[in-house]
Structure 1
């Protein structure tokens, strides 16, 4: 559905599942680089946790010299930083895979971004004294529940390699867009891991543990793993860094247009470096032209907007394609890397329009 520009109707989240709640951002209606929390996509494995904030403490324990227990007030007093970060579900665009794969059938809207404020995880870890030989940092959320593939109750836990945990921009966030993080997005504290798919950005942090081994919980060793083969686990490897990607926001797929001038626009993002160029084809890939890419910061943790002016005088059906390239020379492929659980889709974005 499209809305007239003068309409008072506002976009709303697209529901993929109600229990647990999984909803995606109506990405075609996003006009800027800061998504209001009400339109920020929601990805949950379990029901929302029940928390009490009157006596909130964050433990840092495990392979450390001095286990610590930080109060909310402690964390708010530490030096903070604010960073613009895109969070993309690793299953974003899953419904585009061929052959089809099982899992939440996300369209193109399991992605959002905004400004996160918090304290570097490194600050808390260094105050706890990381012992020599530490390998990973495990972050546990308060959310838990049953899995369909395993017996028992499981809590959402993920680990980071010690180097990623100590990166100065891996933060324990407590604000989003200058307001406390909303409950449905991880209040009071959420881990933010720039450049990695969002499964790493654990919500509702319960505790943080340093370990001297490799973590093997189900959300690390079963889920969020690329399985290239349909029938076996050979050559599997973990999901980590975001692939270079782009999405056409306007026109909409299967939209009917008049002849004349049209502005094709969209977003592009990457987990390594920055976006260096975006190319557009309006003839099903027979020819390509450079889109105009908006200014982006040197860090590249967020998406960038791009536009292309298209003049079309002949009626007919047109296939419009967009492909982004980043500063590491990673370019969107013509076909995605198929994997059994449907992670990391980043093939050239394609829509079809009719001009009449």
Structure 2
């Protein structure tokens, strides 16, 4: 027996909430030749951060970032098993499990379906866990076809509660190593979502990024794009979509990418394990600039980015040297629900010497980006979901 096809009626208000600018309007804005951080003057010079390694190749370089959509040479790639080389003509996508009409589609059949675009910032959940891993985030215009209508055509059976996404990449895994019950088996990469989450978010089956075919490292020829979820959920080299009546508990759902966090309950701390899924509220100072000194003091500005799981950002505030929190200016365009927003602030005229600058984000629900000393970060035992405030240290001279 099939579920009724779930097609939500999108009102004008909901459409405006989903994205502050249409994809076309965003791209038209980005085509302007003078686009960079709003308010940035070409006369400003970069102030290097202290004790911070420069970005390595193949990852975002915050200090030279000048594009809202990230260029391919600054896009990070993470693979946990092998990197399959799949010929487009040989590609097949299976839809199986608890569906009335299982299907196998070629890449051309996927591309022949209604075309859709998703503007989205994608971040590795470990991004920001150390000074050497700060640029594993990028912003993109993904193109593909929506998953929910395809599942509706296949007929989701009532017993289905979970959707597993299985990749072509695979590797041997060993459980209970060194014990009498040790077992080794070859397994493909996989992640899962509830049926409810899939129908609510309507992920994209993507075959293009920023108007170009996906690269091999980014999951060619087809990958999953889940709006507002960390990179691990956006399965690359997608091979099979399986509807299940039990939880899928592969390595990257149940053993890795599991956040272990302490929660205070009275005088006790109880540790809870949760699977990494939705992105957290986060902001970062991307760079600090200066102009020539005036009467012994240096005019400075800070620029940065803020993002979330799609929850609206109410404000970004910036603090210098432990002083009062001051509101930054959020760029009015380009804007999209699941994408980062750039911000800027005039730091005023600072004295020569060392300074510390930090940002914090606040969403419409009043949630404030935590510090490293707040319990939700300090009591976390794993490096995934690294979204604490990140102070930037600089040193200014008059010259």
Normalised to the residue count of structure 2, the TM-score between the two structures is 0.76
The one of 102, 119, 122 aligned to 2:148 = 122
C-alpha displacement of 1:185: 0.3
C-alpha displacement of 1:46: 2.3
Where does residue 350 of structure 1 map in the other structure? 391
Between 1:141-150 and 1:270-279, the stretch displaced more is 141-150
C-alpha displacement of 1:121: 0.9
Whole-Å separation in 2 of the counterparts to 1:120 and 1:242: 21
The answer to whether the 8 Å contact 1:256/1:353 transfers is no
Whether 1:237 aligns to 2:268 is: no
Whole-Å separation in 1 of the counterparts to 2:350 and 2:307: 32
Instruction: Return closer, same or farther for 1:298/1:93 CA change in 2, 3 Å cut-off.
Output: closer
The one of 33, 55, 59 aligned to 1:24 = 59
Where does residue 318 of structure 1 map in the other structure? 355
Whether 1:329 aligns to 2:329 is: no
Instruction: Return closer, same or farther for 1:41/1:135 CA change in 2, 3 Å cut-off.
Output: same
Whether 1:276 aligns to 2:302 is: no
The answer to whether the 8 Å contact 1:246/1:267 transfers is yes
Aligned residue pairs total: 327
Whether 1:265 aligns to 2:291 is: no
Where does residue 94 of structure 2 map in the other structure? 59
C-alpha displacement of 1:167: 3.1
Whole-Å separation in 1 of the counterparts to 2:111 and 2:364: 36
Whole-Å separation in 2 of the counterparts to 1:298 and 1:250: 20
Between 1:144-153 and 1:218-227, the stretch displaced more is 144-153
The one of 338, 344, 357 aligned to 1:301 = 338
Whether 1:80 aligns to 2:88 is: no
Map 1:1-356; keep pairs closer than 5 Å.
14=56, 24-95=59-130, 107-146=133-172, 151-167=184-200, 169-228=202-261, 234-251=271-288, 259-284=297-322, 286-295=323-332, 300-335=337-372, 336-356=377-397
The answer to whether the 8 Å contact 1:37/1:182 transfers is no
Instruction: Return closer, same or farther for 1:296/1:194 CA change in 2, 3 Å cut-off.
Output: farther
Whole-Å separation in 1 of the counterparts to 2:81 and 2:292: 42
Between 1:300-309 and 1:162-171, the stretch displaced more is 162-171
Report the RMSD for the aligned CA atoms in angstroms: 2.6
Instruction: Return closer, same or farther for 1:175/1:293 CA change in 2, 3 Å cut-off.
Output: same
Instruction: Return closer, same or farther for 1:297/1:265 CA change in 2, 3 Å cut-off.
Output: closer
The answer to whether the 8 Å contact 1:261/1:310 transfers is yes
C-alpha displacement of 1:27: 2.6
Whole-Å separation in 1 of the counterparts to 2:270 and 2:88: 42
The answer to whether the 8 Å contact 1:256/1:354 transfers is no
C-alpha displacement of 1:206: 0.9
Between 1:149-158 and 1:262-271, the stretch displaced more is 149-158
Structure 1 unmatched ranges of 5 or more = 7-11, 16-22, 97-105
SS at match of 1:333: coil
C-alpha displacement of 1:328: 2.3
Where does residue 19 of structure 1 map in the other structure? none
C-alpha displacement of 1:299: 5.2
The answer to whether the 8 Å contact 2:207/2:214 transfers is yes
The answer to whether the 8 Å contact 2:59/2:73 transfers is no
Structure 2 unmatched ranges of 5 or more = 1-42, 46-53, 178-183, 263-268
Whole-Å separation in 2 of the counterparts to 1:263 and 1:276: 21
- Higher Cα Rg, which structure: 2
